[in-house]
Amino acid sequence: MKLIECPRDAMQGWHSPISTEDKISYLNALLKVGFDTLDCGSFVSPKAIPQMADTALVIPRLKRAGSRSKLLAIVANQRGAEEAVVFDEIDYLGYPFSISETFQLRNTNKTIADSLELVDSLQELCIKNSKQLVVYISMGFGNPYGDPYDEAVALQWVDELVKMNIHTISLADTVGVATPDVITRLFASLIPAYPTVEFGAHFHSAPYNWEEKVAAAYEQGCRRFDSAIKGIGGCPMAKDELVGNLATENLLDYCVRQHEALKLDIAALTAAQQIAERIFI
């Protein structure tokens, strides 16, 4: 089981500024917990996402000694990727590849065709700099814009990415529209078809329906899940109100009930939760 903690997703749309020092304190606390990966920041336009404008200042002050967690940073274009790869601390670049044309233009100012070309370039850049590329299929379960969507569309674009040798692909429920049936069918189709690809789930969900989404993916063999402490976050580029992330606390409870062996430091998790209570008020 891989647990991807997403403080970046929690912070990026928060309604009040979060100081650089608070970000550093929170991320360093999370590094002690034992998550597989921390989605820790992004190299994107500070005008679009002002909360992430200081990522380049935060990364060098993270204390990775003794932590097994890897660091992931989100990029939206070639320039951001080139800024990110200079940091030895970063293991993964994450790119949001939307299968909704409207959202791809809104989020990265690119068409889907342009975005696919960028993925190819990002993959080359990552290989050259000893990083790995994680591609997020945003709007992977549908979109609110009326753009064409069905499961065949999602499968088509995943196939294109696999042909480009992308080995980690996470399906993102960007606006919280995924239903258990669609989740089940997608993962049931993808996981057996591409055994060399690690598929993940990035669910935005309300508190009342998170478990049915997690269970649908888990029962089809998904073992990579993104979440955020307190369930804070969502994509500020998608719509006016943030849907909320899958809460880490809920995901951990589900894992325990499934008898997953989680190597987490519970005292460190509690300390990180206390910092979250102070920051996200």
pTM score over 0.75: yes
- pLDDT of residue 118 exceeding 80: yes
User: In whole angstroms, how far apart are CA 94 and each of 77, 188, 207, 255?
Assistant: 11, 24, 26, 25
Decide if pLDDT at 65 tops 90. yes
In percent, the amount of the chain with pLDDT more than 90 equals 85
Q: Which two tokens stand for residue 249?
A: 């606390």
The domains located in the chain, with CATH, are: 2-279 (3.20.20.70)
Segment 165-185, tens digit of pLDDT = 999 999 999 888 899 999 999
